[in-house]
């Protein structure tokens, strides 16, 4: 499928929030820049690559990490969720872990990072979910179950909503994911809008199905005045392992082989069109470009510019 990326222009990268990255320009909706740089992001460890990244020998995976000056004994994933300022709307993509500590004690900081950037939860007009895993939908409610984004409409693929809120899965190994999804999504069920593949469901924001990680996993093309960037969600979890070897499988994928097919297809398109990307789990701020490199790809991070 060919995606139209020419209608609007991408607003300049503003304040990197770690947990939240803001893209903002001169039209600042209800959240002007405050001139400060929030410094936090979520980081959690998966341990050695053994058993998590599947499809190459363990020693080869370790060498891929060490050759890129990364620890071969500990795979670190971070969590970056962008807030995109479309001029008349503030759109947040994914909400982090929230109250869950399933991935360690350093997660669940999105609300604080937003406050440090001068953004109130009430300023958010739309919350868009790439999929319904714990670390993407976890920050909708607080400990008491109160919805944290009082003025937002919420967007997700219906197939993912149905899968991860299914009470029939509470007796399965997916129980913790289902409990957390129900805790965060059911309180906003009446505010959920289901998007479809290829649909521009918000002005300048187009859904792009990339299934496999979950049944309804999507990435998104954000366009403004002829420029674009793609929020990848969990298309690829690691900037080395799943780019150099994009057909390597990831153990948290619902359908690892389908996820690998989606990854290769979408990365091919992004590289060919030189579209900037932002990946949820890459090193902060997770924004840059991908390019073909042999049978795989290489990630070129954008230089991080601190705002004062």
User: Which residues, including other chains, have CB under 8 Å from residue 42's CB and lie 6 or more apart?
Assistant: 18, 19, 78, 79, 96, 97, 106, 107, 108, 109, 110, 135
State the average pLDDT over residues 159-187: 96
User: Which residues, including other chains, have CB under 8 Å from residue 257's CB and lie 6 or more apart?
Assistant: 212, 249
User: Which residues, including other chains, have CB under 8 Å from residue 202's CB and lie 6 or more apart?
Assistant: 86, 89, 91, 126, 128, 155
Tell me whether the omega of the peptide bond preceding residue 285 falls within 30 degrees of 0, making it cis: yes
Its pTM stands at: 0.85
Lowest mean pLDDT among 47-56, 78-87, 240-249, 290-299: 47-56
Q: How far is CA 239 from the centre of its chain?
A: 14
Task: Give the residue ranges of DSSP H helices in the chain.
Answer: 58-67, 110-116, 134-137, 158-164, 175-185, 241-244, 256-273
Task: Give the model confidence (pLDDT) of 105-160 as tens digits.
Answer: 767 789 988 988 889 999 999 999 999 999 999 999 999 999 999 999 999 999 99
Return the pLDDT at 38.
53
**Distance from the first to the final alpha carbon of the chain:** 41
State the average pLDDT over residues 73-96: 88
């Amino acid at each position: 499928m060919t995606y139209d990326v020419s209608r609007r222009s991408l607003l300049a990268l503003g304040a990197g929030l770690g947990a939240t990255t803001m893209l903002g320009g001169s039209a600042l909706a209800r959240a002007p820049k405050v001139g400060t740089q929030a410094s936090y992001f979520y980081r959690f460890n998966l341990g050695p690559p053994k058993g998590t990244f599947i499809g190459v020998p363990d020693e080869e995976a370790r060498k891929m990490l060490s050759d890129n000056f990364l620890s071969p004994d500990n795979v670190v994933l971070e969590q970056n969720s962008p807030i995109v300022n479309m001029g008349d709307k503030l759109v947040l993509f994914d909400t982090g872990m929230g109250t869950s500590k399933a991935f360690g004690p350093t997660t669940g900081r999105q609300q604080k990072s937003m406050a440090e950037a001068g953004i109130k939860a009430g300023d958010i007009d739309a919350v868009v979910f790439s999929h319904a895993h714990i670390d993407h939908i976890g920050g909708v409610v607080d400990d008491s179950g109160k919805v944290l984004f009082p003025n937002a409409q919420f967007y997700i693929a219906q197939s993912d909503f149905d899968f991860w809120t299914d009470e029939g899965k509470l007796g399965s190994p997916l129980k913790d994911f289902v409990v957390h999804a129900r805790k965060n999504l059911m309180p906003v069920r009446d505010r959920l809008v289901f998007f479809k593949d290829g649909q521009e469901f918000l002005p300048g924001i187009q859904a792009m199905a990339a299934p496999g990680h979950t049944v309804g996993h999507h990435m998104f093309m954000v366009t403004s005045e002829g420029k674009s960037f793609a929020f990848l969600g969990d298309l690829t979890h690691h900037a080395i392992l799943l780019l150099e070897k994009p057909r390597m499988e990831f153990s948290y994928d619902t359908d690892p082989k389908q996820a690998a097919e989606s990854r290769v297809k979408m990365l091919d398109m992004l590289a060919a069109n030189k579209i900037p990307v932002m990946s949820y789990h890459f090193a902060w701020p997770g924004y840059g470009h991908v390019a073909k490199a042999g049978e795989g790809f290489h990630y070129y991070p954008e230089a991080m510019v601190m705002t004062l």
